[in-house]
Amino acid sequence: MASNNVNVAELKEKMNFWSDNFIIRDVCRLVVVSGLVFFVIFVVFFNDPSCSASGIFSNLKISPSSTQPVASSPDVYPLNVSHLAFGLQGSEKTYHFRKAYLEAWWRPNKTRGYVYLDTAPTGDLLPWSPNSPQYRINDDLSKLLQEIRPRSALMPRMVHGILELFREEHEGIKWIIMGDDDTMFFVDNLIDVLSKYDHTKYYYIGYPSEFVLSNFWFNFNQAFGGGGIILSYPLAKALVRDMERCLRTYSNLSADLMTMACLADIGANLTPLKGVHQNDLRGDYSGFLSSHPKDLVLSIHHWDVLDPIFPKMDRFQAAQHLMKAGNVDQSRLFQQTICHHRETSWTFSISWGYSAHVYEKVMARSWLMTPIETFRGWGDSNSPPLFMFNTRRPFGDPCEAPHVFFFESIEKTSTNEIITIYARSAPRNLLPCAASGNHSAEFVSKIRVFSSATRRPEVHRAECCDVVSVKSSGKAEVKLRECKIDEIIA
């Protein structure tokens, strides 16, 4: 009987054991399943862009794999003129006759920056014009110059100007732009172009000279300061921190090459932009501007050594006249548009806001994109290669020589159009082109060009145009438009 009681007790104990195990197993299974369900919900919910994680869970959102590209968040404040700071190097002596260049493009109370002089202004510079940038006197570097003995005292002064501008301008600045007092900048285009770059990264932007020997004498990979040296704010900050070492190490170099060398030590290389024009050219610049590259124009330097770009004007008047068009639509300024008038076999080439050429035969766009060599190089050499771009020689052939018209006036219409008028500069004094039927264009005196009032900051493709009419009264009309898909300009 006792034995039976023991067996019964053992049986109950075993049953309780297995019962407890089943309960534990069920609990574990429930925990595992619940955990998997929660994990799936967690992943789906917190990584769904349509769901916003809030509160303490906001930090639990799973990050994308580090191997996947992550788009940068859009800038809360799109680039505008207040984000640019200009440092314009000049001298008291030169600014008397150069200030008109700066005042043609400077926007008082909007543009930020300074013109830097070597000594305090005198004479007709006083009182200081409210249409000019504020002036600053460059720092006295005489002690440093005695120590480093540079090849020219001007070179460290120009590079040190970056530091002097940087310490003046901080709040909201994204780009530092250095130039000369005879440089014209096109602010709207600068904003459009620089907005494509991340200003929080290291960017050193500019362009070499158009003249081959200038690049050979200095460096093919440097930005020339007259055309403009553009630095992102973080890069300018890094250069300023390294300024003394920079000036001491590279005191034997020219200013622009010194800047390039110091930036190279930081790890920054040149990002070239074709719209930056150092312009180591002389004489008649119209051939280049009439076939400007497709890139937005950003700067033009050396106004003092170029002929006035418009006939019957001095350099100051020409700069102001150019900005009549530039202040309306910089995105089209100098942009070349080409179309044909089939009835006469003429070709119209429009450099918007500057010039119009009429050729008495159908010309290929690839040929007209090449500037007519109306200008000379900076040096005395006449041995090619002279320029960093192809040129075509001026022709006396009536089938190759254009009738030339220059920008005269501009107006906006109530129909969201801009009308620019181009007037003949002088008679061509050549016979008609016999090869295309002797259709002389000598009687044309003015060309009216209609364009959209909508700006074109993205220049992926040139515009097309139509010759609307050519009247016996001497007036021609051309309408610019977007090219059709697969349209051929020929």
Q: Are residues 261 and 169 located together in one domain of the fold?
A: yes
Quick one: pLDDT at residue 395? Answer: 86
Q: Are residues 237 and 335 located together in one domain of the fold?
A: no
Buried b (16+ CB within 10 A) or exposed e, 323-333: bebbebbbbbb
Question: Is residue 17 in some structural domain?
Answer: yes
Quick one: pLDDT at residue 330? Answer: 98
For 261-316, list the strands marked E by DSSP: 270-272, 276-277, 281-283, 299-300
The model's pLDDT over 328-357, given as tens digits with 9 standing for 90+, comes to 999 999 999 999 999 999 999 999 999 999
Quick one: pLDDT at residue 162? Answer: 98
Taking a C-beta distance cutoff of 8 angstroms, is the pair 90, 181 a contact? Answer: yes
Question: Is residue 295 in some structural domain?
Answer: no
Q: Are residues 252 and 366 located together in one domain of the fold?
A: no
Q: Are residues 246 and 187 located together in one domain of the fold?
A: yes
Taking CB atoms within 8 Å and a gap of at least 24, the contacts of 189-193 are 189/275, 189/296, 189/297, 189/298, 189/330, 189/331, 189/333, 189/457, 190/84, 190/230, 190/298, 191/79, 191/80, 191/81, 191/84, 192/296, 192/331, 192/457, 193/273, 193/275, 193/296, 193/298
Question: Is residue 13 in some structural domain?
Answer: yes
Taking a C-beta distance cutoff of 8 angstroms, is the pair 352, 359 a contact? Answer: no
Give the integer Cα–Cα distance in Å for 392 and 367: 8
Quick one: pLDDT at residue 480? Answer: 98
Give the integer Cα–Cα distance in Å for 409 and 426: 17
Q: Are residues 93 and 224 located together in one domain of the fold?
A: yes
Taking a C-beta distance cutoff of 8 angstroms, is the pair 228, 178 a contact? Answer: yes
The residue with tokens 């534990």 is 24
Question: Is residue 158 in some structural domain?
Answer: yes
The model's pLDDT over 159-172, given as tens digits with 9 standing for 90+, comes to 999 999 999 978 89
Q: Are residues 118 and 160 located together in one domain of the fold?
A: yes
Question: Is residue 90 in some structural domain?
Answer: yes
**DSSP tag of 78:** -
CATH of the domain at 89: 3.90.550.50
Structural domain boundaries, residue 428:
324-481
Q: Are residues 477 and 329 located together in one domain of the fold?
A: yes
Nearest CA to 86 among 39, 27, 125, 136?
136
Question: Can you state the angle between helices 154-168 and 233-241, rounded to 10 degrees?
Answer: 120
Question: Is residue 296 in some structural domain?
Answer: no
Q: Are residues 144 and 270 located together in one domain of the fold?
A: yes
Taking a C-beta distance cutoff of 8 angstroms, is the pair 263, 236 a contact? Answer: no
Buried b (16+ CB within 10 A) or exposed e, 376-409: ebbeeeeeeebbbeebeeeeeebbbbbbbbbbee
Nearest CA to 259 among 185, 156, 166?
156
Domain count, the chain: 3
Quick one: pLDDT at residue 490? Answer: 84
Quick one: pLDDT at residue 153? Answer: 87
The model's pLDDT over 147-193, given as tens digits with 9 standing for 90+, comes to 999 988 889 999 999 999 999 978 899 999 999 999 999 999 999 99
What does the chain come to in residues? 490
Quick one: pLDDT at residue 76? Answer: 58
Q: Are residues 353 and 416 located together in one domain of the fold?
A: yes
Instruction: Output the six-digit token pair for 6.
Output: 């023991």
Quick one: pLDDT at residue 247? Answer: 97
Quick one: pLDDT at residue 106? Answer: 99
Quick one: pLDDT at residue 29? Answer: 55
Q: Are residues 237 and 346 located together in one domain of the fold?
A: no
Instruction: Output the six-digit token pair for 473.
Output: 């009264």
Q: Are residues 88 and 52 located together in one domain of the fold?
A: no
Question: Is residue 447 in some structural domain?
Answer: yes
Q: Are residues 192 and 236 located together in one domain of the fold?
A: yes
Give the integer Cα–Cα distance in Å for 391 and 286: 13
Q: Which residues of the chain carry a pLDDT beneath 70?
A: 1-76
Residue 396: C-alpha distances to residues 403, 431, 440 (Å): 12, 10, 15
Q: The pTM is what? A: 0.84
Buried b (16+ CB within 10 A) or exposed e, 85-121: bbbbbbbbebbeebbbbbbbbbeeeebbbbbbbbeeb
User: What is the DSSP code string of 444-488?
Assistant: --EEEEEEESS-----SS--EEEEEEE-TTSEEEEEEEPPPTT--
Question: Is residue 490 in some structural domain?
Answer: no
